[in-house]
Structure 1
Amino acid sequence: MNRLISFFFLIFILAVSFGCKKDSKRRIEKFHRQDVGYSAFGILSDKDYKSLTVEIIFMTGFKPTDLAIDNLKQLISAQCNKPDGVRFIFREISPQVKSSYSIDDVVSIENEYREEFTYRKDLAICFLFLDGPSSENQGSSMVLGQAYYNTSMVIYEKSLKDNSGGFGEPELYKLETTVINHEFGHILGLVNNGTEMYHPHQDAANGSHCINSDCLMYWEAETGSLFSNLIGNSPIPTFDSNCLKDLKEKGGR
């Protein structure tokens, strides 16, 4: 009799444990499927999350340059309050050799390969670097990167490689830095998309972008219109004073 009771008790414990794991997975998935800008405060401040994990998933042959990653690290250090540090995880996956990628394709890849998720006091974000262009490209008009969830961004690395390094083209790391940091700016809630404006500076005609053409959050920074702005000694754009003020008021440095 005691053995029978113990058996059913064990079954009960296993069922509860399995149910808890499923609930936990649902909560994780729900947290990472919010609108762009939803986690701006969590990424910027140290109130809810003390550390940040940045997962870099790249297809073979399309890993971002070390210089671009170093520049992203500097931006995070300058803007985000994370006393327990920032951890970078690099994950290489096989190319899919698609002619182009839709956002649905991107989400499917993230669902299959992403392994780092927010846990306790550590908030996780994810970048995907792909071996093909965006399906939203039209002629000479290109989409170079997109923030599509609150912790998720895609960089169309092949488009960056195809339009850099040659005569009359920008250096690859400059193009990467601009697009990567621009998309990160979007998940930080810029402009007026999760992080409120201290002073009006949104370019409403172009969505969540800044009216200042010299600012990192100007709309051209994620499109092919950017190329000519980075040639030669042209500087890599940074957040202007209005964007910096917005980030600080939201909990950033």
Structure 2
Amino acid sequence: MRHFNLFLLVAAFVAFSGCKKDSKRRIEKFHRQEVGSSAHDILSDKKYQSITVEIVYMTGYKPTDAAMNNLQAMINQYCNKPDGITFTYHEIAAQGKTSYSISDVRAIEDDTRQEFTYKKDLAVYFLFLDGPSSENQGSSMVVGQAYYNTSMVIYEKSLQDNSGGFGEPELYKLETVVINHEFGHILGLVNNGSTMYHAHQDSAHGAHCDNQDCLMYWEAETGSIFSNLIGNAPIPGLDANCIKDLQENGGK
């Protein structure tokens, strides 16, 4: 009888461990989908009532408080999350690489991500790096990318290297444009998870808006944005077409 009880205990433990592993796999799988596939979940309160924004940054490359405040304002403005927004910050060691590929970025996320969507809270992940994108070519520069349905990378060193000096924009302005632009992509803009209400996609540049004054114009995630934010130049926001797309997909 004692051996039988021990067998039941071991079997229960194995089953419980298996359930935990399966549950962990399901949670992680949620965050390995295509960009824009979770747009409705992020925008609406139908399934998730709150958002946790995880900020992982390499030493020396933490984003400015002003940029984070502007990201929170964007989420509040367009996402229906009655239970609020939480920001968490995690510093990791700088790797000192000459450049980072998207494969590198995904591997770093696998090692460092701590916040996952659970119950009624949806988690998104930003990674801030100490080096440039491997996709840079000459004067053509990639400064941010959305690469999963809840994951974005910001090449913070590229932003720091091109801000704050004579004839250069303020760092927080650059960060705000790039960060909010990438967040716009996981909200399904443009025509990539949030269906267009009126035609405004710049098909030549993928999931971007054809309005050069809109936050979702293609230049916002490239080095071309540097010269557009000098002096008193305003930080661009979403245009009416992009806002309408978000509202039709469950947003405010």
TM category, shorter:
over 0.9
Report the CA distance between 1:127 and its aligned residue.
0.1
Report the CA distance between 1:161 and its aligned residue.
0.1
The secondary structure found in structure 2 opposite 1:115 is coil
Q: Does 1:87 align with 2:78?
A: no
Q: Give the 5 Å matches for 1:122-161.
A: 122-161=121-160
Q: Give the 5 Å matches for 1:172-211.
A: 172-211=171-210
Matched positions, count: 252
Report the CA distance between 1:81 and its aligned residue.
0.5
Q: Does 1:68 align with 2:67?
A: yes
Deviations 1:9-64 (A, max 9, x none): 00110110111011111111211000000110000000000110000000010000
Report the CA distance between 1:3 and its aligned residue.
1.1
Distance 1:7 1:120 in 2: 34
Report the CA distance between 1:183 and its aligned residue.
0.1
Q: Does 1:168 align with 2:167?
A: yes
- Normalised by the length of structure 2, the TM-score is 0.99
1:110 counterpart residue number = 109
Q: Does 1:48 align with 2:47?
A: yes
2:20 counterpart residue number = 21
Unpaired segments ≥5 residues, structure 1: none
Distance 1:7 1:235 in 2: 69
Deviations 1:88-114 (A, max 9, x none): 000000000000000000000000000
Distance 1:33 1:114 in 2: 12
**Equivalent position amino acid for 2:195 in 1:** E
**Equivalent position amino acid for 1:181 in 2:** N
Distance 2:82 2:98 in 1: 42
Report the CA distance between 1:241 and its aligned residue.
0.2
Distance 2:156 2:247 in 1: 30
Distance 1:84 1:10 in 2: 40
2:235 counterpart residue number = 236
Distance 1:201 1:174 in 2: 25
The secondary structure found in structure 1 opposite 2:57 is strand
1:3 counterpart residue number = 2
**Equivalent position amino acid for 1:108 in 2:** A
**Equivalent position amino acid for 1:161 in 2:** Q
The secondary structure found in structure 2 opposite 1:118 is coil
The secondary structure found in structure 1 opposite 2:77 is helix
RMSD after superposition: 0.5
Unpaired segments ≥5 residues, structure 2: none
- Normalised by the length of structure 1, the TM-score is 0.99
Q: Structure 1 stretches (4+) deviating beyond 3 angstroms?
A: none
1:248 counterpart residue number = 247
Distance 2:103 2:27 in 1: 20
**Equivalent position amino acid for 2:235 in 1:** I
Report the CA distance between 1:5 and its aligned residue.
1.3
